[in-house]
Structure 1
Amino acid sequence: MFEFHDPALTPESSVAEKCAWLTNRYIKLDRDVALEEQIAGLFKMGDDDARTAEPMIDSLTGETRGMMVVGNSGSGKSALLRRTLRSSGVLSIAGRETEGNTLYLTVPPEATIKALATSIAEATGYPKVSSRAKSYETWSIARHRLGERGIGLLVIDEAHHLMRRGSGKDVEGAIQTMKSLLQGEHPVAVIIAGVQKLPDAIMEDPETDSRFPKFELPRLLEGSKDAASFARGIQTCARALGLQMPEDGTLTDRILFAEAGSMGRSVRLAKNIMMNVLMDGRSQIRLQDAHRAFAMRYGSFPQSPFDAYEWLALRQDLIDGGWSR
């Protein structure tokens, strides 16, 4: 299914307007509904059975709930999370000077667990945290600010960066911190997201692992329902933009094969193909347009999924030759 989040294009829309419109497109898959349901389980239901933004708290342990979103790089984790939060109806992302009940942070590669606490404090409006403050002091400030700002959900994207061992890193401390965020005076629901390194590290502590059930984003399989949804979404985009897909009808299959079923990368490649055609002033998408967009990102290959040959035969040739990007 393809979702439109802004006004439809008009016949007078410029190329720049069409490209901007295309950039904002989002293709909804079954996993979107599944994630919505799992996130809803982190929160209490209201008296009228409507969803609320108040975290579910276990009456015996006093703990909130957490979850872990796991997928390979390029699987579309961040886009999926942000879209789900935006469309929830009850969750709103807070900023340093804007109100909201959800704090969304992206962890940079060099981050430490203390740096995460500093980011939380400063993102919730706290003046600059002293570099001399100890880690536990910084976390005390961060936890207090979460409660003071009414944050009920903390989303930590790219959390696997906290699990990298090395100088200044405290992986065990990071794992314990994930668990402690669900406890204490100002507990919050927590979503951590990352690549496979994240669950691999969390599993080292069974208590923390049990508190963060995994929501995994598998690759899109050829012939699957999600692959069909992807194809329909791209075709809908093309029609809205006044573009015609290649006549053989295999472009989306070739894109998924080229990107090894990675949803995020497949969508990005499809959008790049369409944008290039728009900027060329044409309406017909050709396989060579896809070949060019693919080569611009990954370099040239002696053979690629976008060569102008019958797709099933070409696909088998690529597999037999051990093709990979």
Structure 2
Amino acid sequence: MSMASTNPHQTVADLRGMYIKTARDDLLRTQLDRLLQCNSDGQPIPRPVIFTKTGNDEGDTRGVVLVEGAGGGKTSLIHHVLSTYPALQSDDSECRRWLGVRVPSPATIKALGLEILRASGYPEVSSSRKEWDIWKLVRHRLQELGTAVLWIDEAHDLFRAGKQVEDILKMLKSVMQGPGAVIMILSGIDSLWNIASYDDQVKRRYAKVSLPAVSAASHEGQLVRLMGKYCEKAGLLPPPSSDLISRLVFASRGRFGRCIENIIAAIEAALLRGDSQLAVEHFAEVWAMHEGAAPGKNVFLSSRWTEIDLSKLHLAA
């Protein structure tokens, strides 16, 4: 059913608010299934599985490092999965079964601890407090809220801050042990895994989830369906171009999120023009504007688009 309105901007806002579930969602859901305890009926509950518990050792939880190139849509993916995973939902306003934060600026472990406290609704804490004291508050706060999953987005920025990787991982590990231990999800660009997995102990504690790049060969059918769905919602006919998907994937650098952004931007251009059908010209218009492509280097117009170097779009042909 069409959701198009007489206001093109509202239609585009509605499109951006849509979430399209794909097989990518299942990759993260499978990890949550593995890391959460189950009740007698086999259903996950908001309590992490505790691993390697021996003797007086309280054991620890496990985590996930999810990596994908910039513009892939990983942040939207993780937020949607955590927001809809049944075991992580609660009607209790005093309970936060999952908590997500983005690494702040400055990207220090102390600033991250303060950001977690702020996002949890904890009263303001002075930045003059010691690092370990702040993270002690973090552990207490997560336990108080009944938090099972802590998600840190753009985690690669944290490891660029100049502090030793070992020290950062040790602090993160502290909330994965003892009473109130949580499952840690770290997300970022491809380099995150190389930075974080500096030894076998880290590789044992974190499972790597790498979201594969999109290709026209493997994702054409899916992208055609998605584009058709968006066009239907916007009240437009789908585009006729036979090689549009290949151009779209190339122009989007193989990133799923960028493909969606480019589709919606092209639909916006069509609506603002008052056109009734989405066309390759709409993609060419918005892509050139966003990328600053020099004449002759527009992926959606050039007959030799596969030879275009996307790193040199602004240079004259």
Does residue 272 in structure 1 map to residue 262 in structure 2? no
Query: What's 2:306 paired with?
Result: 319
1:106 and 2:102 are equivalent in the alignment: yes
With over 3 angstroms needed to count, the CA separation of the structure-2 counterparts of 1:230 and 1:98, relative to structure 1, is: farther
Deviation at 1:219, TM superposition (A): 0.8
What aligned pairs does 1:241-280 form with structure 2 within 5 A after superposition?
241-280=234-273
Identity, in percent, stands at 31
Cα pair distance change 1:183/1:293, threshold 3 Å: same
Aligned equivalent of 1:119? 115
**Distance 1:236-1:318 versus aligned 2 partners, 3 A rule:** same
> 1:119 is aligned with what amino acid?
E
Q: Mark the CA change 1:305 to 1:10 in structure 2 (over 3 Å): closer, same or farther.
A: closer
Residue identity matched to 2:279: R
Structure 1 CA distance for aligned equivalents of residues 159 and 170 of structure 2: 11
Deviation at 1:320, TM superposition (A): 4.0
Report matched runs for 1:122-201 at 5 Å: 122-166=118-162, 169-201=163-195
Q: CA–CA distance in 2 between the matches of 1:181 and 1:99?
A: 17
- Could you list the per-position Cα deviations for residues 81-134 of structure 1 after superposition, in whole angstroms to 9, with x for gaps in the alignment? 011112212223999x76421011111352200111111222223221122211
Partner of 1:5: none
Whole-angstrom CA distance in 1 between matches of 2:37 and 2:146:
15
Match of 1:75? 72
- Contact 1:112–1:170 (CA under 8 A) maintained in structure 2: no
**1:253-301 C-alpha deviation (Å, 9 max, x unpaired):** 2111111211111111111110121122221222221111101111123
Amino acid at match of 1:65: R
Q: Which residue of 1 aligns with 2:43?
A: 50
Structure 1 residue 41 and structure 2 residue 34: aligned? yes
Call closer, same or farther: CA 1:48–1:174 in 2, change over 3 Å.
Answer: same
Equivalent position of 2:202 in the other structure: 208
| CA-based RMSD | 2.3
Does the 8 A contact of 2:3 with 2:235 survive in 1? no
User: Which whole-Å CA distance do the structure 1 matches of 2:236 and 2:105 have between them?
Assistant: 40
Say which SS state the counterpart of residue 90 (structure 1) adopts.
helix
What is the rounded CA distance, in whole Å, between the counterparts of 2:310 and 2:171 in structure 1? 43
Q: 2:276 aligns with which of 268, 276, 283?
A: 283
Residue 186 of structure 2 aligns to a residue in which SS? strand
Partner of 2:221: 228
Q: 2:61 aligns with which of 64, 68, 89?
A: 64
Structure 1 segments unaligned to the other structure (5+ residues): 1-7
* Closer/same/farther in 2, CA of residues 48 and 215 from structure 1, 3 Å limit: same
Q: Distance in 2 between matches of 1:259 and 1:14?
A: 27
Per the TM alignment, residue 149 of structure 1 is displaced from its structure 2 partner at its CA by: 1.1
Number of positions where the alignment pairs a residue of Structure 1 with one of Structure 2 = 307
Q: TM-score w.r.t. structure 1 length?
A: 0.87
The normalised TM-score by structure 2 is 0.89
For 1:99 and 1:68, locate their aligned partners in 2 and report how far apart those are by CA, in whole Å.
Answer: 25
1: CA distance between counterparts of 2:175 and 2:202?
11
